[in-house]
Structure 1
């Protein structure tokens, strides 16, 4: 569970959700089904992940 110490500002209880092989993440959201969407600058993609972290969909964009 994510916790923030109000005095020091230290964040604990984090975990890595995903690691991109290429590109830079730029914007993310959750949809009504609990899937995680993220845009990736560089390869020009939007990725949709399940709550378990599996890629469900990749959409290519006409931009980098």
Structure 2
């Protein structure tokens, strides 16, 4: 059985995770809890010179699967 302190700590953590930050605000003002891949994509988007461009989906898939 959980103590009241444990329940309160878990509730506070859940609220913090759901509060939007500058990195988790979406275009329409909604927020979400990002996973590691989302955070990585956001960081890559801040530096577009590091992103690859592809001429076709097949070329992109070949690069992903290699």
Greater RCO, 1 or 2 (C-alpha within 8 Å, sep 6+): 1
- Indicate whether the TM-score tops 0.5: no
Select the structure that is richer in helix: 2
What TM-score comes out, normalization by structure 1 length? Answer: 0.25
What TM-score comes out, normalization by structure 2 length? Answer: 0.25
Select the structure that is richer in strand: 1
